[in-house]
Chains A and B, each alone.
Chain A
Amino acid sequence: MNSNNLTRGKVTGIIANLVIVEVYGPVAQNEICYISHDGTALMAEVIKVLGDKAYVQVFESTRGLKPAADVEFRGHMLEVTLGPGILSRNYDGLQHDLDEMKGIFLKRGDYTRALNPDKEWDFEPIAKEGDMVNAADWLGQVMENSIPHKIMVPFNFKGNFRIKKLVKAGKYKIYDVIATLTDEKGIDVEVTMVQKWPVKRAVKNYQDKPRPFKLLETGVRTIDTLNPIVEGGTGFIPGPFGSGKTVLQHAISKQAEADIVVVAACGERANEVVELFTEFPELEDPRTGRKLMERTTIIANTSNMPVAAREASVYTAMAISEYYRAMGLKILLLADSTSRWAQALREMSNRMEELPGPDAFPMDLPAIISNFYSRAGFVYLNNGKTGSITFIGTVSPAGGNLKEPVTESTKKAARAFYALSQQRADSKRYPAIDPIDSYSKYLEYPELQENLKKDIADDWVDRVMMLKNILIRGKEASEQINILGDDGVPLDYHLVYWKSEVFDSVILQQDAFDKIDCNAPMNRQKFMLDKIYDIYYTDFNFDNFEEVNTYFKRVINLLKQMNYSVFESKDFYDFEKELHNIIDERKVS
């Protein structure tokens, strides 16, 4: 773009990171500008225009900034740079490479580039000269950490193009021209491996977006069995502090069967991000045997980093996910936590003196949240291949109260709800997902039911539905026992309670810190569920409630030992045999 056409302006007002700029020309909502301060340029985004005044939120501290500082508008919105080399990177919320920054402390205006321009990639053409192509069509591919990274016609190209020239297989750098395309008017455009995309706009270069229908395994039993998430689905995890949100999200990020995992650490603790930095390069992906870091990109805007960039960080993560989805890949996008993002919106809305909505959040918060969640999904690409973005966000409700605006708005947008309960966390029943309050709407989708029947078992869905009833009845029985005393209820109550306890202890609870128990594949989950249903349908002989307690504690202990053993190993079967012996002790023949 010609720099002479760019609008300029001058700072006239400063309130924390909201800066008011007098503009000398046209300016667009959400346009990016740079404010000169002491030889550095501070990046900012227009969030309101009033006459010749543009209100901009600065993505940095504004300390020392003075009125009359020069401002230059860039004529585009906040963009991500898309191309080979995004995987394994640690970015800040604006996609600057954190590892490239010098020094221990973050410096204002130290904007490092997102991609390495000097690295050479082995390019292989997919299309051929003379082909007609549209935006997002695949021209060729390079291998990025063993993942085939498609080089596409840039998403913002409108209309039909003919490939005039396409380079041969060989080594190229990302800014080398790899193709020349001719548009309908006969004008040639050159294409490199890099393209830019405004983060707040959804990439829609696909044919169709059906309802999700395929299970996405996470290895977490209480999710996969009881409230499954699907490829292209949306879920959220609200929970008070200390209820295990982060441990659960980390477990999902390690185990889920996705091709690529994008983690947006949005306004959370820096030490938690450090845990990812430290562990992911060491841990192996159980399916491919390669290091987890190779399939992961981390967007880190920790709670002490500039607030405005916190909002940008979730959009940056989403845009990167959409880019990889267009390559026909399965993406898992995790954001911890979307409440911090909402709080960032609140801070800005407050500074702009907008009339507040509930709890001083901006009025359009529900719309912003549902709009963001709607960018996830399963799609059929133009070439018939499929790709998906599964999005799971955590929510940190103020005071642990789920009736607050962020939780309520998210509940309307996300289809799977994993409520972490303080009570379960206190009694060390981890993961503390409340089995009764939580739900997955996907379980009601006939498309998914059909697949589950086909892939797992004919009666799988019925068994899962029934499990919820068993758990509710168990809870009721336990309440009765607590009120009336052990002796005050019929023996049957104890049986109802203890049978549900078996499901709870063995299926719902899972040790995230145990090497084996942490990750249970679907066939193993089915095996254990069937096993417990066998026990559930068995008639037992007991004389009094104390016998019931001690007996079921033994049963649970053995089932847990099975969970801790390698599936189908000798230990596993030995424990199973012992279990059968115990069952036979009390079985009514």
Chain B
Amino acid sequence: METRAFQKIYTKITQITKATCSLNATGVGNEELALVHGRLAQVVKIMGDNVTLQVFSGTEEIPTNAEVVFFNRPPTLKVSEDLAGRFFNSFGEPIDGGPEVEGEEREIGGPSVNPVRRMQPSELIATGIAGIDLNNTLVTGQKIPFFADPDQPYNQVMAMVAMRAKADKIILGGMGLTNDDYLYYKNVFEHAGALNRIISFVNTTEDPPVERLLVPDMALTAAEYFAVDKNEKVLVLLTDMTLYADALSIVSNRMDQIPSKDSMPGSLYSDLAKLYEKAVQFPDGGSITIIAVTTLSGGDITHAIPDNTGYITEGQLFLRRDTEIGKVIVDPFRSLSRLKQLVIGTKTREDHPQVMNAAVRLYADAANARTKLENGFDLTDYDQRTLDFAKEYSDKLLAIDVNIDTEQMLIIAWSLFNKYFSPAEVGLRKDLVDKYWIKDN
């Protein structure tokens, strides 16, 4: 970050905490960027002449006579087609050894879309994973997180979804990624030969945690450029939002704010909504879809972070290891895509909604049968058949290594119904049974 001529340099810091420092300065605007002792900082509070700055990389070693220079602008990102294929840090500076990107300078975290200018999302995103496409269909303009425990392969699944989705641009916002995961993403993108449509903003665990507060805004500013200016379909991947929220709580704590539930700032809902609500379908074809990761601690979804997220996002996806088949599946009970109603049965085959529900219902019957078995009650013939069905359903459709199109998923589902049940037991609408039930002989 260059300094400019005729800039006023302040050299008298009056207060330093772990994340902030204060000084007397005039003519400073709210949320403006500054350079403190060579580190980037942002104005978070102004009281008369006294200005409080949040120093992103921490205040270690900052002396009271450090040089402070104000930029007279909030954080920005230079946007142009040249962003494609590049890797940046939280400040939008290249970390791939390439040149600085030239382009129009835009403020990050800009205003919201006027709700009357939005379109109702209606375009399906195919991922090939039946646990998603069949049971929890995703739609452009949707925002949906994976709720996952840290040991689950959510980064792999997300990378897979990103590679298969037919998006014009994929933007990765990595917050507190381990270096290994960062290299994994880089590797996947390079191998897929998809590098030219991928943009990454990455804050790894090696970087200071507060810096990651900038990552989602950087990623979404780039996304808005491609979706609005270029009418492109943009997919934004945000991992891990729990670490983002943790950074928020660090800052609010340092600013002496009163914490609300689970030591999170009282504004957590608004802070998260401001990001997730950037997901949008525009009338001109451009769209921003957000797939995020919220790691849970011990599967607890009542914690403030997943809880607030659930109220904001349009559904959530859960992964689970199915011990019967030894694979990770997309949990059909707890996962939900709120926008699937807009596409299933209309953009997909007519039998999709009914087949989806029937299969999940039978899978639930199998779960009941298993409980019965565990409690030492006898199984009926029907119970036994649901258990066999569940195993095959899990293996052929729910497992995350499945990669087929929606029509094939439906064909497989019908063949499983046929193999284990009578039409009456499946309970589908009569006209669909007449049309799709596989006739024996």
Contact = CB atoms under 8 A, between A and B. Distances in A.
Contacts of B116: 90, 98-99, 277, 300
Contacts of B282: 104
B314 interface: yes
B228 A104 contact: yes
Given A65-B30, A346-B266, A360-B260, 9 more contacts: A15-B45, A65-B29, A106-B114, A271-B121, A271-B314, A274-B120, A307-B270, A343-B266, A350-B266
Interface stretch (B168-176, B180-188, B305-313): B305-313
Contacts of B304: 398-399
A382 interface: no
Interface string B269-285: 11001100110101000
Given A14-B45, A303-B270, A107 B111 contact: yes
B29 A242 contact: no
Interface stretch (B60-68, B189-197, B333-341, B409-417): B333-341
Contact of B274 (A13, A15, A304): A304
Given A270-B277, A271-B339, A307-B267, A12 B48 contact: yes
B46 A61 contact: no
Contacts of B114: 98, 101, 103-106
B328 interface: no
B74 A63 contact: yes
Chain B contact-residue range equals 35 or more
A426 B48 contact: no
A399 B341 CA distance: 26
A401 interface: yes
A292 B328 CA distance: 46
Given A65-B29, A303-B270, A104 B314 contact: no
B246 interface: no
Contacts of B333: 426
Which of A62, A67, A340, A486 has the most chain B CB atoms inside 10 A of its CB? A67
A396 B308 CA distance: 9
Contacts of B349: none
Interface string A293-304: 000000010111
B3 interface: no
Interface string B22-49: 0000111111100000000000111111
Interface string A356-367: 100110000000
B117 interface: yes
Interface in A97-116: 98-99, 101, 103-108
Nearest to B120: A278
A486 B114 CA distance: 57
A276 B347 CA distance: 21
Which of A16, A302, A398 has the most chain B CB atoms inside 10 A of its CB? A398
A263 interface: no
Nearest to A61: B111
B31 A270 contact: no
Contacts of B278: 304
Contact of A242 (B110, B111, B310, B312): B310
A229 B110 CA distance: 43
A136 interface: no
B141 interface: yes
Given A66-B29, A106-B113, A513-B341, A304 B258 contact: no
Given A63-B74, A426-B333, A14 B228 contact: no
A210 interface: no
B258 A360 contact: yes
What 4 A-B pairs have minimum CB-CB distances, sorted nearest first? A399-B302, A303-B273, A304-B277, A241-B310
B299 to A, nearest CB: 14
B47 A13 contact: yes
Contact of A360 (B31, B141, B259, B341): B259
B377 interface: yes
A129 B33 CA distance: 65
A273 B115 contact: yes
Contacts of A90: 115-116
A302 B111 contact: no
Given A303-B269, A426-B333, A106 B118 contact: no
Nearest to A300: B115
Contacts of B377: 485-486
A67 B46 contact: yes
Nearest to B117: A104
A90 B302 CA distance: 34
Contacts of B273: 267, 303-304
A519 B342 CA distance: 21
Which of A64, A106, A241, A347 has the most chain B CB atoms inside 10 A of its CB? A241
A104 to B, nearest CB: 5
Interface in A30-57: none
A270 B280 contact: yes
B30 A14 contact: yes
Which of B116, B142, B278 has the most chain A CB atoms inside 10 A of its CB? B116
B30 A12 contact: no
A64 B121 contact: no
B45 A242 contact: no
A198 interface: no
A263 to B, nearest CB: 12
Interface string B242-272: 0000000000000001111100001101100
Contacts of B228: 104
A269 interface: yes
Nearest to B300: A399
A12 B47 CA distance: 6
Given A65-B29, A271-B314, A359 B48 contact: no
A360 B264 CA distance: 11
Contacts of A344: 270
Nearest to A301: B115
B112 interface: yes
Nearest to A241: B310
Contacts of A104: 113-114, 117, 228, 282
B379 interface: no
Given A303-B273, A340-B269, A269 B48 contact: no
B373 interface: no
Contact of B115 (A103, A274, A396): A274
A305 interface: yes
Interface string B118-143: 11110000000000000000000110
Given A303-B312, A304-B277, A398-B304, A347 B267 contact: yes
A106 B261 CA distance: 31
Given A98-B115, A347-B267, A360-B260, A302 B45 contact: no
B112 A106 contact: yes
A105 B48 contact: no
Given A277-B116, A485-B377, A64 B29 contact: yes
Interface in B194-219: none
Interface string A502-518: 00000000000100000
Interface string A383-415: 000000000000010111100000000000000
Contacts of B307: 241, 398-400
A437 interface: no
A242 B311 CA distance: 8
A104 B49 CA distance: 37
Given A275-B120, A304-B274, A105 B111 contact: yes
Contact of A64 (B47, B74, B274, B277): B74
B75 to A, nearest CB: 10
A586 B134 CA distance: 42
Contacts of B269: 267, 303, 340, 343
A273 B113 CA distance: 13
Contacts of A396: 311
Nearest to B302: A399
Contacts of A400: 302, 307
Contacts of B120: 271, 274-275, 278
A399 B142 CA distance: 23
Nearest to B339: A271
B12 to A, nearest CB: 18
Interface string A521-559: 000000000000000000000000000000000000000
